[in-house]
Amino acid sequence: MRSHTLRVLILVALAVASFQVVFQPVRLDGWRPAWQPPQPRLRLGLDLQGGTRIVLEAERRPGVEVTADKVDAAMRVIENRIDALGVAEPLLQRQGQDRIIVEFPGLQDPQRAKELIGRTALLEFVDTDHQSLPRGAEWLPDNRRVRLPDGQVVSLPKKVVVTGADLRDARAEFDQQSLQWLVRFRFAGEGARKFEDHTGRSIGEYLTIVLDNRVLSSPVIRARIPGEGVIEGSFTADEARDLAILLRGGALPVPVRPVEERTVGPTLGRDSIDRSLRAGWIAAVAVVLFVTAYYRLPGFLASVSLSVYALLVLALFAGLGATLTLPGLAGLILSLGIAVDGNVIIFEKLKEELRAGKTLRAAIAAGWRRGLVTILDSNVTTLVGAAVLLWLGTGPIRGFAVTLTLGVLASMFTAIVATRWLVELCADLGLAHNLARVADLPRRPEVAA
Amino acid sequence: MKAWDLMGNRRWLYLLSAGIVLASVVAMAIQPALGRPVLNWGVDFTGGTLITLRFQDRTVSTGQVRAALQPLGLGEAIIQKVHETGDVSVRTRHLEPEERRRLEQAVRERVGPFTVLSVDDVGPKIGRELRNVAILGVAVGLALQVVYVSLRFRSVRFALAADVALLHDLLLVLGVFALTRATVDSSFVAVLLTVVGYSINDTIVVFDRVRENLQLRTREPFLQLVNRSVLEALVRSINTGLTTLLAIGSVYLFGGPTVRDFALGLTVAVLTGGWSSVGVASPLLVDMTLWAERRAGQAAVQPTAQPARAAASRRGRA
């Protein structure tokens, strides 16, 4: 007698555990577990739930070395800026040596976030002697000439007094007197001293405030300033706030430039989830109906183990914290096909063994023994392909490879182990007659043997 | 059951497969003559910006949008209407953020209010990378699979036959995409990968049957043995293909326009993957084996079915 009880317990435990991992009907974060409405806790890709994904690449300029360390530092700066914006659950990742992936799930208007994260935000206080520069004037890359807003180029070397690196704080403020938005900043340590020294020395001269080589304002120095001041520049409220965020977060150690951006609006994202879910349900029901109609009781048992398979794949997926994307969905569908295939292969062999006149038990043993070889070979070839993609791929290709790999592994388990346990259980429960119907035999196989 | 002599009539299988390949090649070859690229490359590959807009007024025409964009000087823009939903997609070269803001502003002012459904903005470098990864992935994957199949089946012939079948499948998918003008984007890469996965998988199941029957050491000639194996595996091939198609079919029908091209590709992948195991891989396996046996001078297994053909092929290879 086989230990059916144990096997059924294992399958049920597996299904329950998987269900818990995916849908979390029981919350376990406190010391006392609590019920909550079950919901799929899968991390959905931006193509499914909506949001923005931006890939930034560090710009290689002569004299500036791009290292992973610098890119990591840039990533931290960007992270601070995003935090200051208050965007929910941003995701930052370094890709390769010189790229940063930034994802904002469910962000409505990425425009502002985009402008913030891509800015180098190098703030410089430049000594321009007796020359005032208009807002928008720009230093050319050689740092010796300035292009004025009207297109005229004048020669003016950039003498930097102090940079934003020494800033301790920056806040947006509304000035009641001028009725304008401005940014109040404060220097710390070395920067404060330099700032104070310079302003003390150069009263009556202009101190031009420059952000990313572009002039913000060019005020005249009226008195020695003890490490604190304001930037005026006829800002709007948002502009002032964003500038304060940029200055607080500091400059990027390397300039970055967006090389890829994908935005899926919330409407389309919601639509995709709904449709995918519906398509998924319909697909599942159609497959179960077909398999059961064709293979009868074993087909139904296969459907049961396919349900375990589906839960298992989703649980592996949720457990690994992987993100489900549209190509990932394709991988799932393909692996569903492979999972069904595993069962079909075995049932066809079972049928042959029964027709050859074997007893049900012998046929089950032989069917699975022969099926195992086929399933292993066909699935290992698929896994080899998926492994190559995992190694090579990024983004969509990787998503496909991950779900395909998990799906194939889980499908081997369900076809080889779970379905067999269920079929053997039914055989011992006296359902042999029903099982043998798979072979369309008019007689009971036990009698025939 | 009446036993079809598929392998004996394999010239018809070859003919049909050759027809499929030829049709695919023609479908691709005529595209330049029709004044368009062979495949409808999406921005993922070419680089560029694709914006899909949903206007409050669903009757907005592409002409209105085109007129609004004209003065901006953004270069050649392709403006299309998604018929099902009334959304409008605008595809341009890779735009700087500032240019995109101007585009949205111009459309909002001159055409009407809208919401942005999606934006795909891809720099040209990314497109090149995706192409390289796709090609490298398929190539390396193929090579490794040849090694694995050769090891497991103790003969490189099985692997070669499986791979020729795979090439046939890849060509057909390319042909279908060329003909239907379905967008070739990164999900197309997933389609190609599915073709690779499914086609090899399906062929292996049929070949496994051949191997199983070979191990029984019957005195059956190879041709008949392969024929029997194909027929024995046929029910499984059809059932598996059908169930997978059921799943993909529901995605095609209910998954919405965003995944339709993708589901189409998967459908073709499953159909051709199933066909090529029977119509390409198995006949090739028969011919390669017969040829090898003849070369080894084993006259005992000489097939009687097509002596003239066999002679021709021998002359051809000598």
Q: How far is CA B81 from CA A108, A116, A264, in A?
A: 23, 33, 18
Residue B239 and residue A287: Cβ atoms within 8 Å? no
* Per-window interface: A 238-267 vs B, CB < 8 A: 258-265, 267
Give backbone dihedrals phi and psi of A204, rounded to 5 degrees, phi first. 95, -15
Which residues lie closer than 8 Å to B188 by C-beta, 6 or more apart?
A: B42, B177, B182, B261, B262, B265
Domain identity same for B32 and B108: no
- Minimal Cβ distance to A283: which of B97, B233, B251: B251
Chain B residues closer than 8 Å to A394 by CB:
133
Beta bridge mates, A231 = A183
Cα B213 to Cα B113: distance, rounded to the nearest angstrom: 68
Show the 3-state SS of A6-52.
HHHHHHHHHHHHHHHHHHCCEECCCCCCEECCCCCCCEECHHHHCEE
Cα A435 to Cα A299: distance, rounded to the nearest angstrom: 9
Residue B208 and residue A374: Cβ atoms within 8 Å? yes
Cα B194 to Cα A328: distance, rounded to the nearest angstrom: 11
Residue B137 and residue A392: Cβ atoms within 8 Å? yes
Last residue of a domain, one of B93, B122, B151: B122
Chain A residues closer than 8 Å to B117 by CB:
264-265, 267-268
pTM given for the model = 0.76
Q: Could you tell me if B121 lies within 8 Å of chain A, comparing CB atoms?
A: yes
Predicted complex: ipTM over 0.85:
no
Which residue intervals of A207-325 are DSSP H helices?
A: 237-249, 266-319
**Residue B1 domain-assigned?**
no
- Is A177:A84 a contact under the CB 8 Å cutoff? no
Report CA dihedral (A219, A222, A225, A230) to the nearest 10 degrees. -30
Last residue of a domain, one of B122, B141, B158: B122
Residue B200 and residue A348: Cβ atoms within 8 Å? no
**Pairing relationship of beta strands B40-41 and A256-264 according to DSSP bridges:** unpaired
pLDDT in tens, chain A (449 residues): 457 888 889 999 999 999 888 888 887 776 777 888 887 778 888 777 778 888 888 888 776 777 888 888 888 888 888 887 777 778 888 888 888 988 887 666 667 777 778 777 888 889 888 888 888 888 888 888 888 888 888 888 888 888 888 888 888 888 888 888 888 888 888 888 888 888 888 888 898 988 888 888 888 888 888 888 888 877 888 888 888 888 888 778 888 888 888 888 777 777 777 787 788 888 888 888 988 888 888 888 888 888 888 899 989 988 888 888 877 877 787 788 888 888 888 888 888 888 888 888 888 899 999 999 888 888 888 888 888 878 877 666 788 888 889 999 998 888 889 888 988 888 888 777 777 666 655 444 443 33
Chain B residues closer than 8 Å to A400 by CB:
190, 193
- Minimal Cβ distance to B187: which of A287, A327, A345: A327
Domain identity same for B17 and B83: no
CA distance, residue A154 to nearest chain B CA (Å): 26
Domain identity same for B143 and B82: no
Residue B122 and residue A260: Cβ atoms within 8 Å? yes
Cα A399 to Cα B275: distance, rounded to the nearest angstrom: 28
CB-defined contacts A:B, below 8 A: 209
Residue B253 and residue A400: Cβ atoms within 8 Å? no
Chain B residues closer than 8 Å to A267 by CB:
54, 115, 117
Give the helix/strand (H/E) hosting A340: helix A326-355
**Residue B42 domain-assigned?**
no
Cα B146 to Cα A45: distance, rounded to the nearest angstrom: 34
Q: Which residue of A has its CA nearest to B118?
A: A264
Q: Could you tell me if A290 lies within 8 Å of chain B, comparing CB atoms?
A: yes
Domain identity same for B215 and B134: yes
Domain identity same for B90 and B193: no
Q: Could you tell me if A190 lies within 8 Å of chain B, comparing CB atoms?
A: no
Residue B243 and residue A290: Cβ atoms within 8 Å? yes
Q: Which residue of A has its CA nearest to B101?
A: A111
Q: Which residue of A has its CA nearest to B211?
A: A374
Q: Which residue of A has its CA nearest to B124?
A: A259
- In this predicted structure, the answer to whether residue B280 has a pLDDT above a threshold of 90 is yes
Within 10 Å of residue B82's Cβ, how many Cβ atoms? 14
| Burial label, B247 (beta-carbon count in 10 A; 0-12, 13-18, 19+) | buried
Cα A335 to Cα A326: distance, rounded to the nearest angstrom: 14
For B284, half-sphere exposure in the C-beta direction (CA atoms, 13 angstrom radius) is 22
- In this predicted structure, the answer to whether residue B298 has a pLDDT above a threshold of 70 is no
- Is A252:A74 a contact under the CB 8 Å cutoff? yes
Chain B residues closer than 8 Å to A336 by CB:
244, 247
Q: Is the dihedral of CA A232, A233, A239, A245 positive or negative?
A: negative
Report CA dihedral (B292, B237, A348, A6) to the nearest 10 degrees. 110
Domain identity same for B203 and B289: yes
Cα B49 to Cα B60: distance, rounded to the nearest angstrom: 21
What does R_g of chain A's alpha carbons equal in angstroms? Answer: 33
Per-residue confidence (pLDDT) for residue A109, from 0 to 100: 65
Per-residue confidence (pLDDT) for residue B299, from 0 to 100: 52
Cα B48 to Cα B45: distance, rounded to the nearest angstrom: 9
Beginning with the edge strand found earlier in the chain, give each strand of the sheet holding A145-147 in spatial order: A153-155, A145-147, A138-139, A214-217, A207-211, A123-127, A159-163
Give per-residue pLDDT as tens, B141-199.
888 888 888 888 888 899 999 989 999 999 999 999 999 988 888 778 778 877 887 88
**Pairing relationship of beta strands A323-324 and A43-44 according to DSSP bridges:** parallel
Residue A385 and residue B197: Cβ atoms within 8 Å? yes
Cα A238 to Cα B291: distance, rounded to the nearest angstrom: 78
Domain identity same for B109 and B150: no
- Is A407:A340 a contact under the CB 8 Å cutoff? no
Domain identity same for B152 and B64: no
Per-residue confidence (pLDDT) for residue A2, from 0 to 100: 56
Looking up residue B72, the CATH number of its domain turns out to be 3.30.70.3400
Query: Among A134, A144, A124, A116, which residue's Cα sits nearest to residue A213?
Result: A124
**Pairing relationship of beta strands A159-163 and A123-127 according to DSSP bridges:** antiparallel
Cα A311 to Cα A414: distance, rounded to the nearest angstrom: 11
Per-residue confidence (pLDDT) for residue B266, from 0 to 100: 86
Q: Which domain holds residue B166?
A: 10-36+126-317
Domain identity same for B161 and B112: no
CA distance, residue B309 to nearest chain A CA (Å): 33
CA A345 to chain centroid: 37
Q: How far is CA A282 from CA A23, A287, A335, B247, in A?
A: 20, 9, 17, 8
Higher pLDDT, B161 or B254: B161
Cα B68 to Cα A252: distance, rounded to the nearest angstrom: 37
Cα B208 to Cα B82: distance, rounded to the nearest angstrom: 46
Residue whose token pair is 């393909």: A334
Domain identity same for B267 and B298: yes
Q: Could you tell me if B255 lies within 8 Å of chain A, comparing CB atoms?
A: yes
Domain identity same for B57 and B28: no
Chain A residues closer than 8 Å to B200 by CB:
378, 381-382, 385
Q: How far is CA B315 from CA A79, B149, B301, B310, in A?
A: 70, 30, 19, 9
B8-14 long-range contacts (CB < 8 A, ≥24 apart) are: B8/B223, B8/B227, B8/B305, B10/B282, B10/B283, B10/B286, B10/B287, B11/B306, B11/B309, B13/B278, B13/B279, B13/B280, B13/B282, B13/B283, B14/B283
Give chain B's domain count: 2
The helix-helix angle for B156-180 and B124-153 (nearest 10°) equals: 150
- Is B38:B31 a contact under the CB 8 Å cutoff? yes
Percent of chain B with pLDDT over 90: 26
Per-residue confidence (pLDDT) for residue A443, from 0 to 100: 43
- Is B257:B84 a contact under the CB 8 Å cutoff? yes
Q: Which residue of A has its CA nearest to B121?
A: A261
- Is B171:B25 a contact under the CB 8 Å cutoff? yes
* Per-window interface: A 100-159 vs B, CB < 8 A: 111, 114-115, 118
- In this predicted structure, the answer to whether residue B311 has a pLDDT above a threshold of 80 is no
Q: Could you tell me if A379 lies within 8 Å of chain B, comparing CB atoms?
A: yes
**Amino acid symbol at A205:** E
**Residue B230 domain-assigned?**
yes
CA distance, residue A50 to nearest chain B CA (Å): 9
- Is A325:A396 a contact under the CB 8 Å cutoff? yes
Chain B residues closer than 8 Å to A385 by CB:
141, 144-145, 193, 196-197, 200
Residue B125 and residue A259: Cβ atoms within 8 Å? yes
Give backbone dihedrals phi and psi of B115, rounded to 5 degrees, phi first. -115, 150
Task: Give, as one character, the DSSP assignment of residue A414.
Answer: I
Tokens of B65: 């949008």
**Residue B167 domain-assigned?**
yes
Cα A391 to Cα A378: distance, rounded to the nearest angstrom: 21
Within 10 Å of residue B301's Cβ, how many Cβ atoms? 14
Query: Among A290, A272, A308, A287, which residue's Cα sits nearest to residue A419?
Result: A308
Task: Give, as one character, the DSSP assignment of residue A441.
Answer: -
Q: Could you tell me if B242 lies within 8 Å of chain A, comparing CB atoms?
A: yes
Cα A314 to Cα B12: distance, rounded to the nearest angstrom: 45
Q: Which residue of B has its CA nearest to A269?
A: B117
**Residue B41 domain-assigned?**
no
Q: Please, what is the end-to-end C-alpha distance for chain A in angstroms?
A: 21
Q: Could you tell me if B146 lies within 8 Å of chain A, comparing CB atoms?
A: no
Residue A400 and residue B145: Cβ atoms within 8 Å? no
Within 10 Å of residue B97's Cβ, how many Cβ atoms? 14
Tokens of A289: 């109906």
Per-residue confidence (pLDDT) for residue A98, from 0 to 100: 86
Within 10 Å of residue B218's Cβ, how many Cβ atoms? 11
Which residues lie closer than 8 Å to B165 by C-beta, 6 or more apart?
A: B199, B203, B276, B277, B280, B281, B284
Band of residue B263 on the pLDDT scale cut at 50, 70, 90: confident
Q: Which residue of A has its CA nearest to B87?
A: A268
Residue A265 and residue B118: Cβ atoms within 8 Å? yes
Looking up residue B293, the CATH number of its domain turns out to be 1.20.1640.10
Residue A370 and residue B148: Cβ atoms within 8 Å? no
- In this predicted structure, the answer to whether residue B27 has a pLDDT above a threshold of 90 is yes
Q: Which domains, from first to last, does chain A contain?
A: 4-42+265-448 (1.20.1640.10), 51-264 (3.30.1360.200)
Chain A residues closer than 8 Å to B239 by CB:
294, 344, 348
**Residue B179 domain-assigned?**
yes
Residue A330 and residue B194: Cβ atoms within 8 Å? yes
Last residue of a domain, one of B86, B101, B122: B122
Per-residue confidence (pLDDT) for residue A27, from 0 to 100: 79
Residue A397 and residue B118: Cβ atoms within 8 Å? no
Beta bridge mates, A324 = A44
Give per-residue pLDDT as tens, B205-220.
899 999 989 988 778 8
Domain identity same for B161 and B280: yes
